[in-house]
Structure 1
Amino acid sequence: MTRPDDIALDQEALALPTPEQQAQAVIDRFLDWATDPRLAVLDTETTGLGPGEQVIEIGMVDLEGRPLMNQRVRPTFPVPAGATAIHGITNEDLKDCPTFDQVWPRLWKLLQTHRVVVYNGAFDFNRIADSLNAALPGWYQGDGGPSELLQAWNALIPPMQRDGCVMEAYAPLHGEWNAWHGSYRWARLSAACAERGVDTSDLKAHSALDDARATLRLIRAAAQLTPEQLPWIGREDEA
């Protein structure tokens, strides 16, 4: 005899999304981005990878891959040789470039008027904040409380950073399950593009504008996938 609580459990199980539905939900996130006319893809190059490092190049493209911003920025301290070895940007390249406070109004307007996505949003937005701290000390302080800019930042950037991180969204497509953490491992942009057959032969790696274009191409490629191509999603317990 079936008990009422058994029936409730059966109904709950029936309500759970199937692996195919879970895979489609992942794809739909990319499809949503790929069809949104307000979309903009951001990337930066920096003086380094850790806290306190600064943005030295900003690239942003629209949904069609057209540049919205392609700007180098002079930081408040010299670019370390190790960073130059990665992106090729030297102190000589930056000596006549504007400082971050000079380019900030334009960047802030773009962030406010577009749906911005980033490959590794936490990194780029943290370095933007570090650059603000260096170029506009105290930008977050107002009279007796948070500044208007900080309030606007807190309303806009954390949701954008959370909902617009292409690296996080792509992790299930990469398909490398980490049972210890109960999540999918991230993939480098270059690896993700290679997996999806994205042609980046005309792009320069570690160029902010070209990495933004590569991310856009990855979004378009991921939006064309089908659940049948991602059979591991929703079956993580079997891994």
Structure 2
Amino acid sequence: MSTTTAAKATASVPPSRTEPADAEELTEHAPVARRGGVPVYRWGQAPKHLRTKTQLAADRLNVTEEQEKAPLAYIRTREYGDVPLHDPAAAEKMRPLPSSTKAKMLARRTCSECGKVRKVILRGPCSVCRERVERERQHLLARTCAGCSTVRERPYPKEHRRCQGCRQDQLEKKRARVEEWLVEVTVCAGDGCTKRRGSKKAARTWLKEHPWLLRAERTDLPSSMWWPSWSRRCSPCQTAYDVEQERRRAETQARYEREEKERRERRKAAAEERERWAAAALVDPDVVVLDSETTGLHSEARIVELAVVSSSGEVLLDTLLDPGEPIPADSSEIHGITDGMVAGADSFSALLVRLTSVLVGKRVLIYNASYDVERLRHELTLHYLAHPARGSGEESAGEGDGQELALAEAREQAAAWLDAMEFEDVMIPYSDWVGDWSEYHGNNRWQPLDGGHRAAGDCRAVLRCLASMGRAYADEYAPAAAVAGSTSERAN
């Protein structure tokens, strides 16, 4: 179809038609695709009488529900994809806007400076007023002295923008800087030396090639950037300077090597101390290893299993505990202890006397001691709340703050029980011995304990960690182990 034919077909479309004509009959361009049976045209190739929803809104027309569901065509755009096209003849006219809404829309397009109505919404003065203000500011700046801020009718010279007096002061300061610079670059920089190292004429020539160095705004530049290509020192002073620099470098290198040697020695001594500590713990009859399994990792978690193993591997205590609350499923997935397993087991209060007899007078080693000690503290606090000291609970029962007083007393009793014990952490020494450094945390990564997540198994895993750490000194501490074993047999 030719352009003339398409124009005639477009002109022949009656504006009052109720059924839209086929869009493909009103344009000479073929669609590039189809979308649900509706043709999709390139930009500028759609029928001229069709409009987008935005174009219809600009003409105060609304798209009907039928038009929204069944567009006549689509126009393909890069930013918005395929945009539906509708027939304006079938659209509905918008309701007239209220006068208050029109007034608000007009106010948003009215300039606050000149009062003129613009085509776009304004956020402050219009562009014409802003340009006028900027021209006035630039004109005032050109007529203001950069030195004394004096304003005159005619603009100051663009080169310096100063009045005559300020220009004289500027030139005097520049000459002073030039003279000072010439002395610095033509006289030896050695201490107390006044030998000439270059001519002022050559320095002035060099300065003309680098005029930016002595501008007023460049006075903050370091003097190390102001030297010409010749040396700053005479030969004797340069030799002395080089010797001094070499001496300082040698001192710095020697200090660094000395400090590095001391750091290596400290690390070696710390590593030896950790290994000896582990080897000695394995042969110490007063050493026991404690571990617990809990209902979670939060601050209110309860103990569900507790085990204590001696340094020789003898199980001194290994029992399940009834926490008095359901065990979460995610915790059971880790250690395998369920509510059915702890049903009928002793409570922590019932086990406390036995636990105290096992731990008192012993060195209690724990992997991640801070966590297990806090679980013990929580259990002890609950125990002393349920079993208050004789007399104190009765005296405070009638008071309004009796619960607070009872809790404070229970915490004091729990702290006293823990203070009577001697706890030592194994996780941090063992992690430092492994030496898996983390740049993110700034220390060695904590190593997981491969004990199966059961209390007795974790205690045995702690003993294996101690054996690995103290392997280098195991033979040295073997006689002590034999003596301890024979003493134990005689005592039995």
TM-score range normalised by the length of the shorter chain: 0.7 to 0.9
What residue in structure 1 maps to residue 449 of structure 2? 189
Take 1:154 and 1:128, find their aligned partners in 2: how far apart are those partners? 8
Q: Which residue of 2 aligns with 1:211?
A: 458
Tell me the amino acid that sits aligned with residue 107 of structure 1: L
Q: Distance in 1 between matches of 2:264 and 2:417?
A: 35
Task: Give the secondary-structure state (helix, strand or coil) at the position aligned to 1:125.
Answer: helix
1:129 and 2:377 are equivalent in the alignment:
yes
SS, match of residue 385 in structure 2: coil
Structure ranking higher on relative contact order (CA contacts 8 Å, 6+ apart): 1
User: Is contact 1:87-1:207 (8 Å) kept?
Assistant: yes
TM-score, normalization: structure 1? 0.73
Q: 1:116 to 1:140 in 2, by over 3 A?
A: farther
Q: How does 1:148-187 map to 2 (within 5 A)?
A: 149-150=413-414, 152-157=416-421, 160=423, 164-187=424-447
Given that 1:140 and 1:149 are in contact with CA atoms closer than 8 Å, whether structure 2 keeps it comes out as: no
Shift of 1:170: 0.6
Counterpart of 1:74 in structure 2: which amino acid? D
> RMSD across aligned C-alpha pairs, in angstroms?
3.0
Q: Greater CA deviation, 42-51 or 134-143? A: 134-143
Q: Decide which moves more: 96-105 or 147-156.
A: 147-156
Aligned partners of 1:62 and 1:68 also within 8 Å: yes
Match of 1:47 in 2: 295
Unaligned runs of at least 5 residues, structure 2: 1-250, 393-404, 474-492
- The separation in 2 between residues aligned to 1:167 and 1:36, in whole angstroms, is 19
Query: Conserved in 1, the CA contact under 8 Å of 2:384 and 2:414?
Result: no
Counterpart-to-counterpart distance in 2, 1:27 and 1:120 = 18
Residues 151 and 211 (structure 1), Cα distance of their counterparts in 2 relative to 1, 3 Å cut = closer
Q: What amino acid sits opposite 1:156 in the alignment?
A: A
- 1:70-109 equivalences under 5 Å are 70-109=318-357
Where do residues 18-57 of structure 1 align in structure 2 (5 Å cutoff)?
Answer: 18=265, 19-57=267-305
Contact 2:384–2:413 (CA under 8 A) maintained in structure 1: no
1:139 and 1:150 in contact (8 A); partners too: no
CA deviation after TM superposition for structure 1 residue 154, in Å: 4.8
Counterpart-to-counterpart distance in 2, 1:134 and 1:146: 11
Larger radius of gyration: 2
Q: What is the deviation of 1:98?
A: 0.8
> How much has 1:139 moved relative to structure 2?
6.7
Per the TM alignment, residue 179 of structure 1 is displaced from its structure 2 partner at its CA by 3.9
Distance 1:150-1:44 versus aligned 2 partners, 3 A rule: closer
Gaps of 5+ in 1: 1-5, 191-203, 227-239
Q: Give the match's secondary structure for 1:211.
A: helix
Deviation of 1:97 (Å): 0.3
What is the TM-score of this pair, normalised by structure 2?
Answer: 0.37
Structure 1 match to 2:223? none
Letter of the aligned partner of 2:298 in structure 1? G
Letter in 1 for 2:458: D
Cα distance, 1:75–1:218 mapped onto 2, change above 3 Å: same
CA contact (8 A) 1:74 1:97 kept: yes
2:349 partner amino acid: D
Give the residue type in structure 2 aligned to 1:222: M
SS at match of 1:21: helix
Structure 1, residues 181-204: CA drift from partner, whole Å, max 9, x if none? 4422211112xxxxxxxxxxxxx6
Check the 8 A contact 1:47/1:80 in 2, yes or no. Answer: yes
